[in-house]
Every structure is written in structure tokens, then in C-alpha cells.
Amino acid sequence: MTDEITPFRIGVPQRDLDDLRDRLAATRWPAPLPGDGWDTGVPTAWLRDLAEYWRTGYDWRAAEAELNRHPQFTTVIDGQRVHFLHVRSPEPDAFPLVLTHGWPGSVVEFLDLIGPLTDPRAHGGDPAHAFHVVIPSLPGFGFSGPTADGGWDVERIARAWAELMRRLGYERYGAHGGDIGAAVSPELGRVAPDRVAGVHVNGGPGPLPPLPLSEEDTAALTDLERDRIRRIEAFMQEEFGYISIQSTRPQTLAHGLVDSPAGQLAWIMDKFREWTHPRDVDPDKIIDRDRLLTNVMIYWLTGTAGSAAYVGYAQQQSWGVVPENSGVPTGVIVFAHDVAIRRYSEAENTITRWVDVNRGGHFAALEEPELLLADIREFFAKIR
């Protein structure tokens, strides 16, 4: 292993874009199921419309240029290529912050936050809230894929992030994440407690409550907490299938997703519909279509559907083992879709800030960037 960091620039060959358009034009569409609604999965009519826009209206070159406006690099850590954005603030006292995405997300999640985080003065904010941001692609995801070997659980990813920050010369820094990033960020505090000044997550740092709850435990819950328990139970009954597939047969799934852009689009859009808020609104009415498709393109162009599924959910965890509390101050913002419950999260984390919000969904940086930005700033203002 060396400390070498190599500048990186996205440059997709035109033949890959032409191939995508040809595949989309030749899609073999299934007949709609009765009602063609979201209750049986992604509706055929809705997906066909989005796929046609992808083929004829979406501009990858514009998205590629937007990504390339930010300095990008690759480095090899623990045998794995890691791609990351590294955007330094013009403010001399800016605080380093590593941002970790989840599945089915990518570094695209954070594009709208980079400017306000790194240069608040230019975005109507206080320059005292400036950050240097590091945004890695998770191992196996996008330009950090495919995975070179197995065993990339959240602890190993956290150790890789600690090494990445060391290579960049940051001795003290913060961490933020959602979804998988909300597991990696607290773990970074555990593997590098002397360097991580604070951890901030959206959605909750875990763990989920042990179900089913006893009558005594249920009686102690607030109305908000009971609602979250109900929704966790519904998730386990109605939505757990994708985890079962990705954590046991990711290679089988990958053959379909890497070959079919419509299949890849449907697989990702299913989660964006289920996890955005409000749930009964189509996801492209909540998040800009182009942004949704740019995120899908990261998976499609790199062919990493299989390795992202594998890394995201084939985690090596010991059931019943409570991770050590790092003591690192941890801030949590829970948007309306998500189900974190403070009393359970406190078993593994030193919660110093907890905010419940009555709007927004799982993809906080895409759905409610201003709310998320304000909470990140307020949390780190006290510890930076």
C-alpha cells in the first residue's frame, strides 16, 4: 500500500452513451399488472415515461461537466480503489468533513451541498461555518468499484476513511452520513476517536429496536415512537425483499441490472419512491429527474450493481453484540420518513443533539438540502 493520490476526471466514451440509448430503445417491457400502481412495484407506464426521457431528454454530458467541476481523485486503500471528491474551502479556518452516501445513492447525493458547505460566504451564510469536504464513493460503488475482495463491512470502510483522511493531512475532522453512511460515520468515530470531533447523521445511527417489543416497552413509547415502530414492522413485512436478494444473491441480481438499463432504473426508482416523503407522490415530483438519472448513471456506466449490493448489505456482524460507544459527540436529524428512536440509539452512541422533522425523507441531501445543511452547521458549530 502506498499513499499515492491520483487526480481523476470522468470521461465516458460516446459509444457507451450510444449503447445506452440503443438498449433503452429496444427495451422489452412487461405487461402492466392490474391497476399498474406502486403497490406491486414500479408501474410500467411511469417507468416507460422516465426511460423515454432518459433516452431522449437527459443530458449526461451536462451532468458529467457538473461532477468534473469538483476536484476528484482516486487512491488505493487496503487493496481497494477509492474514488472521492475533495473540495477545499477558501476560508482559512474551515473544518474538514467527510460525507458518506448510502444505497442506492452515490456522491451525486451531495452535489447541492458542496457550495454552501465549502463557501458559505458566497451562498449567504456565515464564513465561520465553512468546511473542507471529502466525499468518497463507497467501496464497490460507482468509480470505487467493483470490489477487489470480500469483507467490506462498515468497520473496514471506516478504517479506510480514517486512512484517507490521514493521507489528505487532516488530523481532526467531522463525519456525516445517511443510510449506509449513517452506519459508517459512527463507526469512524469508533476506529478513530482521537481524530473524529463529531458525528452527524440523518435517519439515525442505529440500532433498530429489538422486535417484537414487550408490552412494558411498548407502553413506555411516545406516540411518535409507536408510529415509527409500526412503520419498521411494515417495512419488515412489505419491503425487506430487496435486502434478502442483495445480501444473499447479489451476483444473480447483477446479471440483470448490469445488462438492462430499464431493469437498473426500476430497481433504484423503487427505493426512491418508497423512501422519499410523502410516499404517495412520484419520486420525480420530489427530486429533479435529471438528478435522479445522474445517480442511476453512476451505477449503469460503472456496471457496479452487483458490487454495490454486495458491499451494502453483506455485512459481517455479530448478532446481539453492542458496539462500543466511542464517546464521540453525535448529532441526529430524523426526517418524516425515517424511523430512528433515540432511546435505542443511545445504547451505542453519545447523542448530544437530536432533531425530529415532520417533513422530508430518507434522501435528505436531495430532498431537504437546506434543512440538512442548517443542522450540520449548527451541530458542528459547537465542536469544531
Structure confidence by residue, pLDDT tens digits, 251-283? 999 999 999 999 999 999 999 999 999 999 999
For residue 255, which phi and psi values (nearest 5 degrees)? -60, -40
Which pLDDT score, from 0 to 100, does residue 314 have?
57
Cα–Cα distance measured from residue 263 to residue 136, given in angstroms and rounded to the nearest whole number: 26
Across all residues in the chain, what is the average pLDDT? Answer: 95
Report which of 253, 288, 282 is spatially closest to residue 270, judged by C-alpha positions: 282
Pairing of strands 196-202, 329-334: parallel
Could you tell me the pLDDT band of residue 316, with boundaries at 50, 70 and 90?
Answer: low
Instruction: Exactly one of 101, 200, 277, 362 is catalytic; name it.
Output: 362
- Record the cell numbers describing residue 256, joined without a space: 440483470
Cα–Cα distance measured from residue 79 to residue 75, given in angstroms and rounded to the nearest whole number: 10
Which pLDDT score, from 0 to 100, does residue 207 have?
87
Cβ(180)–Cβ(154) below 8 Å: yes
Q: Is 179 a catalytic residue?
A: yes
pTM attached to this predicted model: 0.96
Q: What is the dihedral of CA 236, 239, 244, 249, to 10 degrees?
A: 180
Average pLDDT over residues 330-349: 96
Whether the predicted pLDDT of 330 surpasses 90: yes
Structure confidence by residue, pLDDT tens digits, 133-171? 999 999 999 999 999 888 899 999 999 999 999 999 999
Could you tell me the pLDDT band of residue 317, with boundaries at 50, 70 and 90?
Answer: low
First vs last C-alpha separation in the chain: 31
Which pLDDT score, from 0 to 100, does residue 244 have?
87
Which pLDDT score, from 0 to 100, does residue 208 have?
83
- Considering the domain 5-28+36-207+239-381 in this protein, what is its CATH number? 3.40.50.1820
Rounded (5°) CA angle 171-172-178 = 125
Whether the predicted pLDDT of 1 surpasses 70: no
- Record the cell numbers describing residue 32, joined without a space: 402492466
Cβ(131)–Cβ(89) below 8 Å: yes
Q: Is 313 a catalytic residue?
A: yes
Whether the predicted pLDDT of 320 surpasses 60: no
Whether the predicted pLDDT of 26 surpasses 90: yes
- Record the cell numbers describing residue 80, joined without a space: 481497494
Which pLDDT score, from 0 to 100, does residue 310 have?
86
Instruction: Exactly one of 179, 270, 290, 375 is catalytic; name it.
Output: 179
Whether the predicted pLDDT of 185 surpasses 70: yes
Could you tell me the pLDDT band of residue 297, with boundaries at 50, 70 and 90?
Answer: very high
Report which of 110, 82, 65 is spatially closest to residue 6, judged by C-alpha positions: 82
Instruction: Exactly one of 36, 153, 282, 313 is catalytic; name it.
Output: 313
Structure confidence by residue, pLDDT tens digits, 35-69? 999 999 999 999 999 999 999 999 999 999 999 99
Report which of 287, 384, 373 is spatially closest to residue 113, judged by C-alpha positions: 373
Write the DSSP string, 182-237.
Answer: HHHHHHHHHH-TTTEEEEEEES-SSPPP-SSPPHHHHHTS-HHHHHHHHHHHHHHH
Cα–Cα distance measured from residue 20 to residue 55, given in angstroms and rounded to the nearest whole number: 8
Cβ(284)–Cβ(50) below 8 Å: yes
Could you tell me the pLDDT band of residue 243, with boundaries at 50, 70 and 90?
Answer: confident
What proportion of the chain, given as a percentage, has pLDDT over 90?
90
Whether the predicted pLDDT of 319 surpasses 50: no
Helix ranges restricted to H, the chain: 14-25, 44-56, 60-68, 111-118, 154-167, 181-191, 215-219, 223-238, 241-248, 250-259, 261-275, 289-302, 305-313, 342-345, 364-367, 369-381
Which pLDDT score, from 0 to 100, does residue 79 have?
95
Q: Is 362 a catalytic residue?
A: yes
